[in-house]
Protein backbone atom coordinates (compact mmCIF):
# COMPACT_ATOMS: atom_id res chain seq x y z
CA UNK A 1 0.00 0.00 0.00
CA UNK A 2 1.48 3.31 -1.11
CA UNK A 3 0.47 6.13 1.18
CA UNK A 4 -0.86 9.38 -0.11
CA UNK A 5 0.01 12.72 1.43
CA UNK A 6 -2.97 12.58 3.79
CA UNK A 7 -1.85 9.23 5.20
CA UNK A 8 1.63 10.59 5.74
CA UNK A 9 0.17 13.60 7.54
CA UNK A 10 -1.80 11.37 9.91
CA UNK A 11 1.28 9.29 10.72
CA UNK A 12 3.39 12.41 11.24
CA UNK A 13 0.72 13.87 13.52
CA UNK A 14 0.61 10.71 15.62
CA UNK A 15 4.40 10.84 15.94
CA UNK A 16 4.38 14.51 16.96
CA UNK A 17 1.59 13.95 19.49
CA UNK A 18 3.32 10.88 20.92
CA UNK A 19 6.35 13.06 21.64
CA UNK A 20 4.14 15.51 23.53
CA UNK A 21 1.91 13.17 25.52
CA UNK A 22 1.87 9.64 26.90
CA UNK A 23 -1.10 8.38 24.88
CA UNK A 24 -2.56 9.42 21.54
CA UNK A 25 -6.20 8.83 20.64
CA UNK A 26 -8.17 9.59 17.50
CA UNK A 27 -9.75 12.60 19.22
CA UNK A 28 -6.27 14.04 19.82
CA UNK A 29 -5.45 13.64 16.13
CA UNK A 30 -8.79 15.21 15.20
CA UNK A 31 -8.18 18.25 17.41
CA UNK A 32 -4.56 18.67 16.32
CA UNK A 33 -5.32 18.47 12.60
CA UNK A 34 -8.68 20.25 12.73
CA UNK A 35 -10.43 17.33 11.00
CA UNK A 36 -13.79 15.81 11.87
CA UNK A 37 -13.91 12.76 14.10
CA UNK A 38 -15.46 10.58 11.34
CA UNK A 39 -12.69 11.57 8.90
CA UNK A 40 -10.01 10.68 11.42
CA UNK A 41 -11.73 7.40 12.31
CA UNK A 42 -11.83 6.40 8.65
CA UNK A 43 -8.16 7.30 8.14
CA UNK A 44 -7.12 5.48 11.31
CA UNK A 45 -8.97 2.38 10.09
CA UNK A 46 -7.23 2.50 6.73
CA UNK A 47 -3.82 3.03 8.32
CA UNK A 48 -4.44 0.21 10.78
CA UNK A 49 -5.54 -2.11 7.98
CA UNK A 50 -2.44 -1.09 6.01
CA UNK A 51 -0.17 -2.08 8.88
CA UNK A 52 0.98 1.45 9.76
CA UNK A 53 -0.56 1.77 13.21
CA UNK A 54 -2.18 -0.17 16.02
CA UNK A 55 -5.06 0.73 18.28
CA UNK A 56 -5.40 -0.96 21.64
CA UNK A 57 -8.63 -1.67 23.50
CA UNK A 58 -8.45 1.79 25.14
CA UNK A 59 -8.30 3.50 21.76
CA UNK A 60 -4.64 4.45 22.10
CA UNK A 61 -2.80 4.71 18.79
CA UNK A 62 0.78 3.56 18.29
CA UNK A 63 2.80 3.47 15.12
CA UNK A 64 4.07 0.16 13.81
CA UNK A 65 7.65 -0.06 12.58
CA UNK A 66 6.40 0.68 9.06
CA UNK A 67 4.37 3.65 10.31
CA UNK A 68 7.28 4.95 12.36
CA UNK A 69 9.60 4.76 9.37
CA UNK A 70 7.29 6.90 7.24
CA UNK A 71 6.37 9.31 10.04
CA UNK A 72 10.01 9.79 11.02
CA UNK A 73 11.05 10.48 7.43
CA UNK A 74 8.31 13.06 6.91
CA UNK A 75 8.87 14.70 10.30
CA UNK A 76 12.62 14.96 9.69
CA UNK A 77 11.92 16.63 6.36
CA UNK A 78 9.45 19.02 7.96
CA UNK A 79 11.85 20.11 10.68
CA UNK A 80 14.86 20.44 8.41
CA UNK A 81 13.04 22.21 5.56
CA UNK A 82 11.50 24.67 8.02
CA UNK A 83 14.96 25.40 9.43
CA UNK A 84 16.42 25.71 5.92
CA UNK A 85 13.73 28.13 4.74
CA UNK A 86 14.15 30.30 7.84
CA UNK A 87 17.91 30.23 7.21
CA UNK A 88 17.40 31.69 3.71
CA UNK A 89 15.15 34.47 5.01
CA UNK A 90 11.62 33.08 5.02
CA UNK A 91 9.47 33.94 8.04
CA UNK A 92 9.03 31.04 10.47
CA UNK A 93 5.30 30.82 9.82
CA UNK A 94 5.62 30.66 6.03
CA UNK A 95 8.66 28.37 6.33
CA UNK A 96 6.63 25.85 8.35
CA UNK A 97 3.67 26.05 5.96
CA UNK A 98 5.87 25.55 2.90
CA UNK A 99 7.81 22.74 4.54
CA UNK A 100 4.53 20.98 5.26
CA UNK A 101 3.64 21.06 1.57
CA UNK A 102 7.06 20.15 0.21
CA UNK A 103 7.91 17.39 2.71
CA UNK A 104 5.58 14.97 0.91
CA UNK A 105 6.78 15.47 -2.65
CA UNK A 106 10.48 16.24 -2.45
CA UNK A 107 12.70 13.41 -3.68
CA UNK A 108 15.18 11.69 -1.38
CA UNK A 109 17.99 12.90 -3.66
CA UNK A 110 16.95 16.55 -3.46
CA UNK A 111 16.43 16.36 0.30
CA UNK A 112 19.89 14.86 0.80
CA UNK A 113 21.36 17.67 -1.34
CA UNK A 114 19.59 20.34 0.73
CA UNK A 115 20.90 18.74 3.93
CA UNK A 116 24.44 19.11 2.63
CA UNK A 117 24.08 22.91 2.63
CA UNK A 118 25.60 24.18 5.91
CA UNK A 119 23.15 25.99 8.18
CA UNK A 120 24.24 28.38 10.90
pLDDT band at 113 (very low <50, low <70, confident <90, very high): very high
Q: Is the pLDDT of residue 96 over 90?
A: yes
Q: CA-to-CA distance for 47 and 28, rounded, in angstroms? A: 16
Domains of the chain: 5-69 (1.10.10.10), 72-115 (1.10.60.10)
Q: State the burial class of residue 47 (Cβ atoms within 10 Å of its Cβ: 0-12, 13-18, 19+).
A: buried
3-class DSSP assignment, residue 107: coil
Q: pLDDT for 49-59, tens place per residue?
A: 999 999 999 99
Q: Is the pLDDT of residue 2 over 70?
A: no
Q: pLDDT for 61-81, tens place per residue?
A: 999 999 999 999 999 999 999
Longest Cα–Cα distance in the chain? 47
Whether the Cβ atoms of residue 10 and residue 63 lie closer than 8 Å to each other: no
Mean pLDDT score across all residues of the chain: 93
Q: Is the pLDDT of residue 1 over 70?
A: no
pTM of the prediction?
0.87
pLDDT band at 119 (very low <50, low <70, confident <90, very high): confident
Shortest CA distance to 47 belongs to which of 22, 71, 19?
71
Q: What's the average model confidence in pLDDT over 2-9?
A: 83
3-class DSSP assignment, residue 50: coil
Amino acid sequence: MVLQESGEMYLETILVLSEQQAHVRSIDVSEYMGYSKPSVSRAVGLLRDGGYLNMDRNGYLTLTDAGMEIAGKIYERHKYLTKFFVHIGVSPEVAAQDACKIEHIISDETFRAIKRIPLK
